[in-house]
Amino acid sequence: MAEHKKPEVEDAPPQSSSYPYAWSPDRESELSLAQFLTKYKPSMVQDDGTKPWIWARGSKSNSRTDEQAKKEETAVEEATELLKEVTEKVEKIKNDSSIPVRSSKKTGAKSKKEVREAEQAAATEKLKEISIKHGFIGGKWLIFAPSDRVDMVWHTVATSLVSGPLADTSAYLAKVATCPQNETPHYQHVICIYIPDVYDKDAITEILRVLLRQHGITPLGVKSNLYTSIGVDSKHASGIQSTTWKNTAVLPDAEIKALKEEYFSALNAAKEAKKEPSPEKASKEETEAKDDVESSAKPVKAKPKPKLKPKKKAGADDPFASDDDEAGSDDKPAPRPKGNTSKRSAAVANDDSDDEAESKPQKKRARA
């Protein structure tokens, strides 16, 4: 019996509740999804051999029975044997000198590439038959993200799966790779979105449309869980295509581009809308501006000059007031007195200086 990986190793979250890097709805009471995504970021969790993945499960269940698990193991055994045969055939084609490097229209001989691709296509169909026969038809959409973007992409995928657009599709589980044990330049984290049937094209198409239009994410393709279990990847010696669906086999390239353009147009429109004030705020600002213009256009009334208080007659309230103050209040100048004017002037001057001294407050002395 050929050695193989058990399916649950790669494509099912750990069953132990002690594994903290897996979230499901039944953990909501102790840790919300938002808290989980903040606490365990793929760019911050390093795999030490015990935590290669961070998982998030949606509300849908896709549990397997013991009987189903046995069928999947049988499928893995058959697929592993087939893969071994195909790999040997491909190697023989490569070393067969009778097969030309280039095809010939005259002789009808096929090139090495054509012969090899025919074997690989036949193997792909046989793997599909094995999958369907044993009910091992689950798989996942693959997304790759660099370390500086993986947290954002993973947050988008996990949130959408639990309570967003992906929750309305057949997708039920997602995982993201943590950081490798050893520093790897240009490392790409793989994100998997699990689906129950990789051969259900309608369900596959629905998920692709959601990723493109709602999230602006372009996945790499769809891979069968059976392929993962038997070790088929892009570098496998058999040369079998590692994905069961490529994007352009699901949707035309023009539609893929159009969906992404719609996403980014909506995103830019949302950003612009945030910059513009709301109608209520704009109306209020317009009213305030109008009031400012109207108030600036109104003529400014001159303030009335303060009325002068009439002077009181000398002697009425001020016992020290002179007769000159009373005379100064008349329109006509007072007649000049007869007699010795110089003595009278001196006396008046002395009286005026005394009045000035009385009316002015005395300054405090700086020092005694």
Question: For position 368, what pLDDT does the model report?
Answer: 44
Residue 142 burial by Cβ neighbours in a 10 Å radius (0-12, 13-18, 19+): middle
- The 10s digit of each residue's pLDDT in 63-98 is 788 899 999 999 999 999 999 999 999 999 999 999
Q: Which residues are registered as beta bridge partners of 107? A: none
Maximum mean pLDDT: which of 57-66, 281-290, 303-312, 328-337: 57-66
> What's the whole-number mean pLDDT along residues 15-35?
90
Please give the CATH architecture assigned to the domain spanning 7-268: 2-Layer Sandwich (3.30)
Q: 328 or 116: which carries more pLDDT confidence?
A: 116
Question: For position 229, what pLDDT does the model report?
Answer: 95
Q: 332 or 266: which carries more pLDDT confidence?
A: 266
pLDDT above 70 (res 48)? yes
Question: For position 354, what pLDDT does the model report?
Answer: 43
pLDDT above 50 (res 366)? no
- The 10s digit of each residue's pLDDT in 123-171 is 999 999 999 999 999 999 999 999 999 999 999 999 999 999 999 999 9
Question: For position 284, what pLDDT does the model report?
Answer: 64
Structure tokens at 292: 């400012």
pLDDT above 80 (res 289)? no
Residues 48 and 29: beta-carbon distance below 8 Å = no
pLDDT above 60 (res 190)? yes
Which residues are CB-neighbours of 62 under 8 A, at least 6 positions away?
A: 138, 172, 173, 194, 196
**Strands 22-23 and 53-57: what pairing?**
parallel
pLDDT tier at 18, thresholds 50, 70, 90: confident
- The CA-CA-CA angle for residues 263, 59, 48, to 5°, reads 85
Q: 10 or 189: which carries more pLDDT confidence?
A: 189
pLDDT above 60 (res 201)? yes
Q: 106 or 50: which carries more pLDDT confidence?
A: 50
pLDDT above 70 (res 316)? no
Q: 310 or 228: which carries more pLDDT confidence?
A: 228
Question: For position 266, what pLDDT does the model report?
Answer: 93
Q: Which alpha helices (DSSP H) does the chain contain, by range?
A: 7-11, 33-39, 66-95, 112-134, 150-163, 201-209, 215, 225-230, 247-250, 253-275, 279-297, 323-328, 341-359
Domain definitions of the chain by residue range: 7-268
Sheet with 139-146: strands ordered across: 22-23, 53-57, 173-177, 188-195, 139-146, 221-224, 245-246
pTM greater than the 0.85 cutoff: no
Average pLDDT score over the chain:
82
Q: What's the rounded Cα separation, in Å, for the pair 300 and 233?
A: 85
pLDDT above 90 (res 272)? no
Among the residue ranges 151-155, 170-174, 231-235, 268-272, the one predicted with the least confidence is 268-272
Q: Which helix (H) or strand (E) holds 308?
A: none
- The CA-CA-CA angle for residues 44, 46, 51, to 5°, reads 115
